[in-house]
Amino acid sequence: MTFIRENLPTALQRQDFEVGQVVPPQKHPKARPQRKGFAASCAKEMGESKRSINRCLRHANILGDDIERLTGTCLEKGVELEALCKMPEVRRKQFIDRAVAGEKVSAKEWLGDEFYRVNVKAKSLILLRRILLSKVAAIDTAIAEQARLEAGS
């Protein structure tokens, strides 16, 4: 995170990359040159992956000004930032305030428990749906068989 914070201004100044400079242009005569995206140009400039730049941008976008407050706290790690981004805003603010106060908290652990409960319910509903669909299919087959027997009589 510190590496990106230090090098982002340099990458922001260099947004004049064109895809044709990196990848040979297409052979289509009417193909227009395409500009390289912000994340791709930053990634090249900083030696990071485009995915990691997009992740950092998403964290900054969701966490807003609170991201600066997280520097030096137990929530500064990538997995904790990711968990904070998935939390409801009210809960996230509480966690950030506690971490800034010096308390050792883990958004990842809280989110793990919450996601476990939600995922168990979702998996149960999916399983129930599959069972119901198989029962409906069996009933449809039995009805079709009964209709075939009655028609043959």
Please count the other Cβ atoms lying within 10 Å of the Cβ belonging to residue 29.
5
Where are the chain's structural domains? 1-63, 64-153
Q: How confident is the model at residue 101 (pLDDT cuts 50, 70, 90)?
A: very high
Statement: residue 68 has pLDDT above 80: yes
Sequence-separated (6 or more) residues with CB below 8 Å from residue 105: 74, 75, 95, 98, 99
Percent of the chain with pLDDT over 70: 71
Q: How confident is the model at residue 153 (pLDDT cuts 50, 70, 90)?
A: low
The encoded tokens of residue 108 equal: 């990842």
- Judge contact between 78 and 108, C-beta under 8 A: no
Statement: residue 36 has pLDDT above 80: no
Percent of the chain with pLDDT over 90: 8
Report the alpha-carbon distance of residue 34 to residue 17 in Å, rounded.
Answer: 9
pLDDT at 39: 84
pLDDT at 107: 82
**Per-residue DSSP letter, 24:** P
Give the residue, 26 or 137, on which the prediction is more confident: 137
